[in-house]
Amino acid sequence: MIAGPLPARFLEYFSRLGLFTFAFGYVGGLAPANIGLGILLMAFLGKCICGERQVLQDHFVRLAMLWLIVALALAAWGAWLFPAVARSQYSSLPEVWSFAFIPLVALATRGDIRLILPALLVALFGLMYRLARDVVLGVGPPDHYDSVALGVGRNLAVLFIDVGAVGCLVLLFALVESRTWRGLRRLAASTLCLLILAALLYAWIAAASRTSLVALPLAFAALIAGRLLGAGGRRIAVVGLMLAAAFAALVVAYDARILGELQKDSDTWAAIAAGQWDTVPQDTATGLRFHMWHLAWDNWVQHPLTGLGPSVTHLLRSDPSRAFLSTFNQYHSGYVELLLRTGLIGVAFYLAATVLVWQASLRARAAGLLPRSLFELLVAGFAIFVALNFTNAILFFQQGWQFIVLFGGIAYGYTWAERRPANADTTS
């Protein structure tokens, strides 16, 4: 039970409701995610009104509030530049606000592992729900799963699949090292974790995202290598098997279709390297991205500081010589699109937010507040997010920026660990 005045207790329970609803929905469904985010916002405002006004003095909160205003100004700028798509400039604001919602999760968790762990497990449940839904609806592997994976397509689905797989690996590490979970209890938990990991790896192979086919094995290898440095014989055996399984999955994943795509891309890279940009193929993944990024560059250099507004999809239809781009709704790079949407101003804000979250994580880890397993999950998860955004604009998909909110909020929440309600007790 949570001690304290009735309004404070209500807000705390209300905040937890929002946290778990959001954690499930950010993969499990857009409606629950939006509802959860709305609850978190109301709880945040309620806490600030009812005695936690010091939160408003936090550097990240001030940065987020300033970014809300700046992004609104950039939307007005985009509407002035392109009156025909003025409405979409404002409707796209949530996509660029993204990190401004991190304080909502941060204040809900406040570095309390007894809240963070259930929230992550609920998120994993939401992921498995989506995966099971794919199978039940008959859209699962192996035929055309890449286009319908988790209801969002492979380019976004692999973010959740990869991070879920990393989470399972980290959880296995924790179970192996646990001093409280032993015997049948640990065996049952480990078996369940391995089954979930196997399902996720199967979906990962079926999705066949080339960036993910590199990113996930590298994340596995880094985690395992880190553990091997100080592990005992039994642990070395466990993680060694995990490493072998990861690379075996990678070999299986590179089937004839993937190898064929890579072969086609070799011609694309040859044309780019030779400076023959007009001859870059339009029918390869790399070729399409090259033309998208070239178009984005041509538009961005006109307004490098401010960008061209939160909505830039219409620019893909602005060049008659690149009519083949008109069917796309993104530039297949989160960083290219960030520059194009918000300019150098937006990049500076995003970098500042990243630094603040990273500093909070390092300080919490150094102080012994952030458990090693959770730190590994956060670092690996963000590394995968960074890698995937090189080839897809995951940053601006709802589920993508909600990933930032959930994981960034968990990390930054340790900054406010001392602000937990007095005598608060939660169920582990």
pLDDT (tens, 9 = 90+) of the chain, 428 residues, equals 565 566 788 899 999 999 999 999 988 888 999 999 999 999 999 998 887 888 889 999 999 999 999 999 999 999 999 999 999 999 999 999 999 999 999 999 999 999 999 999 999 999 998 888 877 666 544 556 666 677 777 788 889 999 999 999 888 888 777 666 667 877 888 888 888 988 888 888 777 777 887 788 888 877 877 776 655 445 555 555 665 666 566 555 555 555 555 566 667 767 777 776 676 777 777 888 888 998 999 999 999 999 999 999 999 988 888 888 888 888 999 999 999 999 999 999 999 999 999 999 999 999 999 998 899 999 999 999 999 999 899 999 988 999 999 999 999 999 988 655 544 443 33
Degrees to nearest 5, angle at CA 86 with 85 and 90:
115
Assess if residue 200 is contained within a domain.
yes
**What confidence score (pLDDT) does residue 427 get?**
37
Q: To which H or E segment does residue 36 belong? A: helix 30-49
Q: How many CB atoms lie within 10 A of CB 67?
A: 23
Assess if residue 123 is contained within a domain.
yes
**What confidence score (pLDDT) does residue 54 get?**
85
Assess if residue 275 is contained within a domain.
no
Distance CA(182)–CA(316), nearest Å, equals: 57
**What confidence score (pLDDT) does residue 426 get?**
39
**Which has the closest alpha carbon to 204: 402, 416, 8, 388?**
388
Assess if residue 425 is contained within a domain.
no
**What confidence score (pLDDT) does residue 41 get?**
95
**What confidence score (pLDDT) does residue 219 get?**
85
Assess if residue 13 is contained within a domain.
yes
Assess if residue 314 is contained within a domain.
no
Assess if residue 377 is contained within a domain.
yes
Assess if residue 192 is contained within a domain.
yes
**What confidence score (pLDDT) does residue 242 get?**
63
Across 379-391, b (16+ Cβ under 10 Å) vs e yields: bbbbbbbebbbeb
- Per the structure, the complete domain to which residue 81 belongs is given by 6-257+332-419
Q: Provide the number of structural domains found in the chain.
A: 1
Q: Which residues contact 187 (CB under 8 A, 6 or more apart)?
A: none
pTM of the model: 0.87
Q: Give CA separation, 63 vs 167, 206, 358, in Å.
A: 30, 40, 15
**What confidence score (pLDDT) does residue 229 get?**
66
